C-alpha cells in the first residue's frame, strides 16, 4: 500500500509543479493543501491519515502535543535547515524522522530592498494614484545616498543587505549582541557602539536577526522611541523581534516616517488585524523566501528527502 504525503500551506498551488515528484510517485500519494489549518485540532483531522508531511518554513508548528496525536506520522520535511517550530525530541520519541532542504538568502535580501525602496520613494502611493486618477506626484522621495542604514544582525542576509546599501552610497553600520569589529570590517561597515546608538542615528533600520530568547522583543517602545521622525524600519526577519503594539503606536502617531514589514505575529494575517490598516505601513504576506528558485530547491529537496527515507538512508536530518 502506498504511503500518503501531505504538502501543507501550498498557498499558490505550485508545489506539484515546482519540482519533479516522479521519483516517489510509485510509492507515495501526494496531496497538496492550499489553505491553512489555524488550530491543532484542525491539523490532527487533516493529517491523521498521512505518513509524511512537507511543511514550509515555520508556518505550521509541530509541538509534542501535535506529534503525539499523529501516530501514523513517520517523516516531516521542513524547508531550510533550521526550524524552531518543531519539537525534535518529541519527534524522536515517536519515531518521526525530520529532514530539511536547501535554502538561499537571496530572496529575503531582495525583498528587504523592495520594501525599503518602496517606502523611500512612495511607490505604492504614487502607483495607486496614477492608476486611480489621483494627484500627479504627491510624495517627495527620501534619498538613500549619504544616509545611514543601520542593520541589526550581520549574518548571511544582513551582510548582503549591507553590500547593497554600500553600493547605493549609504553609510552602513551594524549591531548585534555578538557582532565584533573584525566581522564589521570584513563586511566593510561600521560597528555601532550599541543598539541604542544604531536606532538613534540611522535613517533606515533593517532587522536580520534569528528569533531567540535574547532577540524576542528586542525592539520595544523604548528602542522605537529613539528613532528619528523621518526614519524607516524594515523587518523581514521575525515579527516577535519587534514589539508589535509599540510598532503600531509609532506608526499611528507618525513618530517615524514608515515601516516595511513581511512578518507578523499571526500568519496568515486575520482579516481584522490592525496591521492590515495601519498608516505608514508597507506590508507583504511573508514573501521573503517566496521565489521560483527557492521553491524549486524546497520541493526538489523534499522529493529527495522522501526518496532517501524510503530507501532507508535519510538525508539532511534535523534535530
Measure the CA angle with vertex 165, ends 159 and 169; round to 5°.
Answer: 140
Among candidates 200, 202, 183, which has minimal Cα distance to 191? 183
**Which entry of 57, 147, 238, 301 is annotated as an active-site residue?**
238
**Which entry of 36, 267, 273, 317 is annotated as an active-site residue?**
267
Is there a catalytic annotation at residue 121?
A: no
| Residues in the chain, total | 319
Is there a catalytic annotation at residue 186?
A: no
Written as nine digits, the cell of 107 is 530572496
Task: Please give the Cα distance from 56 to 291 (Å, whole number).
Answer: 13
Task: Please give the Cα distance from 175 to 108 (Å, whole number).
Answer: 19
Instruction: Give the helix ranges, DSSP H, for 21-145.
Output: 22-25, 40-47, 64-67, 88-93, 106-120, 123-132
The SS3 of residue 183 is helix
Is there a catalytic annotation at residue 93?
A: no
**Which entry of 57, 147, 160, 286 is annotated as an active-site residue?**
286
In what helix (H) or strand (E) does residue 135 lie, and over which residues does it extend?
none
Catalytic residues, by residue number, are: 238, 267, 286
Amino acid at each position: 500500500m502506498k504511503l500518503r504525503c501531505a504538502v501543507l500551506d501550498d498557498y499558490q498551488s505550485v508545489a506539484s509543479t515546482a519540482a519533479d515528484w516522479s521519483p516517489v510517485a510509485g510509492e507515495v500519494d501526494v496531496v497538496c493543501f492550499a489553505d491553512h489549518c489555524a488550530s491543532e485540532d484542525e491539523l490532527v483531522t487533516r493529517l491523521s491519515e498521512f505518513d509524511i508531511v512537507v511543511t514550509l518554513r515555520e508556518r505550521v508548528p509541530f509541538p509534542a502535543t501535535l506529534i503525539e496525536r499523529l501516530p501514523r506520522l513517520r517523516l516531516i520535511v521542513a524547508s531550510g535547515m533550521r526550524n524552531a517550530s518543531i519539537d525534535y525530541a518529541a519527534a524522536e520519541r515517536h519515531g518521526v524522522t525530520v529532514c530539511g532542504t536547501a535554502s538561499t538568502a537571496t530572496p529575503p535580501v531582495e525583498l528587504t530592498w523592495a520594501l525599503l525602496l518602496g517606502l523611500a520613494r512612495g511607490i505604492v502611493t504614487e502607483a495607486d494614484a496614477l492608476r486611480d486618477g489621483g494627484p500627479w506626484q504627491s510624495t517627495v522621495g527620501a534619498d538613500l545616498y549619504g544616509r545611514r542604514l543601520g542593520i541589526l544582525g550581520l549574518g548571511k542576509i544582513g551582510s548582503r543587505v549591507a553590500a547593497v546599501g554600500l553600493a547605493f552610497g549609504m553609510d552602513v553600520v551594524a549591531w548585534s549582541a555578538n557582532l565584533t569589529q573584525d566581522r564589521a570590517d570584513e563586511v566593510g561597515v561600521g560597528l555601532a557602539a550599541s543598539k541604542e546608538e544604531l536606532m538613534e542615528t540611522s535613517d533606515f533600520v533593517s532587522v536580520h536577526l534569528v528569533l531567540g530568547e535574547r532577540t524576542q522583543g528586542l525592539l520595544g517602545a523604548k528602542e522605537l522611541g529613539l528613532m528619528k521622525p523621518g526614519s524607516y524600519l524594515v523587518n523581514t526577519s521575525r515579527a516577535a523581534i519587534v514589539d508589535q503594539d509599540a510598532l503600531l503606536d509609532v506608526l499611528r502617531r507618525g513618530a517615524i516616517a514608515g515601516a516595511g514589514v513581511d512578518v507578523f505575529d499571526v500568519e496568515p494575517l486575520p482579516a481584522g488585524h490592525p496591521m492590515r490598516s495601519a498608516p505608514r505601513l508597507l506590508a507583504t504576506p511573508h514573501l521573503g523566501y517566496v521565489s521560483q528558485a527557492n521553491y524549486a530547491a524546497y520541493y526538489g529537496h523534499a522529493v529527495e528527502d522522501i526518496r532517501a527515507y524510503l530507501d532507508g538512508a535519510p538525508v539532511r536530518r534535523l534535530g
